[in-house]
Structure 1
Amino acid sequence: MATTALDRYQRLESGGLWRPDPDAQRRDVVVTFGEATLVISDKAGRALSHWSLPALRRENPDEVPALYSPGLDGGETLEISDTDMIEAIETVRGVISKSRPRPGRVRLLSAGGIALAIAGLMVLWLPGALREHTLSVVPEVKRVEIGRALAEEIERGAGRPCEDPLGLAALDVFRERMGVEEIRVMSASPRAAVALPGGVVVLDRSVIEDHEDPAVAAGYVIAARQGAPDPLGALLDAAGTRTTFRLLTTGRLPEAAIRRHSERLLAGAQPAVEDGILLAGFDGAGVPSRPYAFAIDVSGETVLPLIEGDPFRGREAPPVLSDSDWVSLQQICRE
């Protein structure tokens, strides 16, 4: 019964008025209903407080707006007018109240069972829920900041970035054409292309220099991004719950977590992407897939779906770059 009630209201959100202590001003906040907590955040998505649902108390029964406290002595309060959120909280409070242990030996056994259930919930549910909530509230500017920090760490193992002035100007045209935040070309990267949080992409110079058609370089950007649809999620998965919680509560990631993830990215293989997903990426970017396919396998045998499924097969594709920009971009790593 408890699971059904919790599932019904999962990820419900509403506004509220939060007071951290009796002498403080009330603040407009966003209240997110989770399976084990109420998360109180500011308008920018920063978490201000986490309240345990089992400990939640209603200070004014049957009145609206409803006034809640976390069951502590600190004077923290939360006022909610949204009827859906009040219904959700009261439903779960009722379920929890019915599940509270009874006196005697049965009470002791029930308390032990509830403790085990809560422990299991924390182990099995909290990491995934914490990850999803963190990803939902991290703003794009923070993702870009993390992506650039990773790119700077990657430089340590991928050689210095190429910075010929004419090449950089052409690279900016290419970046805009591909619809990404930033592209860096490295002089000696072990990975052809790496997609980072915030739309930051790192390319090895060979992607630019070894091919005559700019659609090949575009294909590497598309494949990297389609193979890593949420690079920040991959970072948090590798870094663990503690690092995720730190990002949620402070907006920062430890330098060690950035460094370790950059090393993992350089040591890993290019992610495999399903042909259908890859072709959708080419179609959305307005780039033919045939040049990239033949760059991967000159015989075409292992990339036949990319050749036959080219979204621009039989028709002219929009140019990726002008000839002059492509020539300049190919010279980006010259000394």
Structure 2
Amino acid sequence: MTALQQYQRIEATGLWRATPQDQRREVIVSIGDATLVISDLQDRALAHWSLPAVARANPGEHPAIFYPDGDPGETLELTEAEAQMIGAIEKLRSAIERRRPRPGRLRAVILAASAASVLALGVFWLPGAMQEHALSVVPLVKRVEIGQQLMTHVQRVTGQPCSDAQALPALARLADRVRAPQDRPLRLTVVRAGVNSTVFLPGRILLISSTLIEDYEEPDVAAGFLIAELQRARMEDPLERLLHESGWMSSFRLLTTGTLPDKTLRAYAETLLTRPTQPVPLADLLEGFRAAGVRASPYAYALDVSGEQTLPLIEADPYPQAAPSPVLSDSDWVRLQGICGG
């Protein structure tokens, strides 16, 4: 696209936030290969927005507020002083809109030609590169949608999540307690069966076995398993794992249609709950406990009651005496232990 090549050299400063709860931060905005690239002042990429999915919340007003279609909580503000970048984005949005296929025979021909071109390109485009590109452009709202669809298949094994109304606020506080401040919100779900300890789904949906809550006297054990799972997810993105195990056609389908076939999710769910838990390197585990302000020893003894196999973790516990603050209050922990109605 000529217009895209014309604007790939301009940059602007703006204010960006990932969620409505986050503070706005100053960023550098540039136009990349079919994406709007948002970077921090050290030139580290924070987000990539697909240009066809960029929407404006306040047409004709300033500061101009843009967001990725489907996720209005993530915003980018550009002041009137950045008129060149605002104009470039608007011109590209208009150009893309004019080129959108319209229903009818022409649309079918264009889609078929596009699919054929992409398939031909696939001979030279490694599956790994396609997967990496898919992961970089899929917005959080789409990840959440995929995670929720996957959850419907997982529930055939786990049953309905535990949802005692009096315990849900405590569950939300536990989720906020273990995640890093810079991380997106975590949706914590307690299940009675099918999950040995924890399982992370795309969209930051984290399943935890009810036994980790019901069978221990302190919340530090459950918090430890959650911290370990969060560190495991940093090693391998849950969506990346799904796409890798589902084959390159899943990445292709996600890029071209924005969806994954229901049969693909069903097949993945059948293996997800039985997969052996991947170990987390000791240094990463300790960093997770240190950042969350949680003792590591209760988790270590839950893995091995004798402590022999987890001795390095026990000896390196960043808070051997007491954590800076309790994981949960006693009243919250008592309520949470009854979340499954037991």
| TM-score normalised by the chain length of structure 1 | 0.64
Q: 1-side partners of 2:259 and 2:7: how far apart?
A: 26
Report the counterpart of residue 31 of structure 1 in structure 2: 33
Match of 2:306 among 299, 306, 315: 299
Report the counterpart of residue 52 of structure 2 in structure 1: 42
Report the counterpart of residue 239 of structure 1 in structure 2: 246
Report the counterpart of residue 181 of structure 1 in structure 2: 186
Q: 1-side partners of 2:284 and 2:267: how far apart?
A: 29
Matched, 1:288 2:290: no
Q: 1-side partners of 2:290 and 2:212: how far apart?
A: 20
Q: 2-side partners of 1:324 and 1:196: how far apart?
A: 29
Report the counterpart of residue 141 of structure 2 in structure 1: 141
Unaligned runs of 5+ in 2: 9-29, 36-49, 55-67, 70-98, 100-118, 180-184
Unaligned runs of 5+ in 1: 1-12, 17-27, 34-39, 47-75, 77-118
Deviation, structure 1 residue 314: 4.3
Q: 1-side partners of 2:210 and 2:146: how far apart?
A: 23
Letter of the structure 1 residue corresponding to residue 339 of structure 2: I
Match of 2:335 among 300, 323, 328: 328
Q: 2-side partners of 1:14 and 1:150: how far apart?
A: 41
Q: 2-side partners of 1:31 and 1:310: how far apart?
A: 46
Q: 2-side partners of 1:161 and 1:43: how far apart?
A: 33
Q: 1-side partners of 2:7 and 2:207: how far apart?
A: 40
- Measured against aligned partners, the alpha-carbon deviations of 1:200-241 in whole angstroms (never above 9, x if no partner) come to 100111011011110110111111222232100000001111
Match of 2:216 among 201, 211, 216: 211
Whether the aligned pair in 1 keeps the contact of 2:293 and 2:323 (CA below 8 Å) is no
- Does the residue aligned with 1:295 lie in a helix, a strand or coil? helix
- Measured against aligned partners, the alpha-carbon deviations of 1:228-261 in whole angstroms (never above 9, x if no partner) come to 3210000000111111111112211111121112
Whether the aligned pair in 1 keeps the contact of 2:293 and 2:325 (CA below 8 Å) is yes
Q: 2-side partners of 1:237 and 1:204: how far apart?
A: 26
Deviation, structure 1 residue 15: 4.2
Q: 1-side partners of 2:326 and 2:7: how far apart?
A: 48
Letter of the structure 1 residue corresponding to residue 206 of structure 2: V
Matched, 1:225 2:236: no
Letter of the structure 1 residue corresponding to residue 306 of structure 2: S
Matched ranges for 1:1-335 at <5 A = 15=7, 30-31=32-33, 41-44=51-54, 122=122, 125-179=125-179, 180-229=185-234, 230-334=237-341
Q: 1-side partners of 2:244 and 2:6: how far apart?
A: 28
- Does the residue aligned with 2:172 lie in a helix, a strand or coil? helix
Letter of the structure 2 residue corresponding to residue 221 of structure 1: L
Whether the aligned pair in 2 keeps the contact of 1:293 and 1:300 (CA below 8 Å) is yes
Deviation, structure 1 residue 149: 2.1
Whether the aligned pair in 1 keeps the contact of 2:170 and 2:336 (CA below 8 Å) is yes
Deviation, structure 1 residue 183: 0.8
- Does the residue aligned with 1:198 lie in a helix, a strand or coil? coil
How many aligned positions are there?
A: 236
Could you say which structure has the larger radius of gyration?
1
- Does the residue aligned with 1:176 lie in a helix, a strand or coil? helix
Q: 1-side partners of 2:52 and 2:332: how far apart?
A: 45
Letter of the structure 1 residue corresponding to residue 163 of structure 2: E
- Does the residue aligned with 2:188 lie in a helix, a strand or coil? strand
Deviation, structure 1 residue 127: 0.6
Q: 1-side partners of 2:322 and 2:207: how far apart?
A: 30
Letter of the structure 2 residue corresponding to residue 316 of structure 1: A
Whether the aligned pair in 2 keeps the contact of 1:157 and 1:189 (CA below 8 Å) is yes
CA RMSD of aligned residues (A): 2.8
- Does the residue aligned with 1:238 lie in a helix, a strand or coil? helix
| TM-score normalised by the chain length of structure 2 | 0.63
Deviation, structure 1 residue 169: 2.3
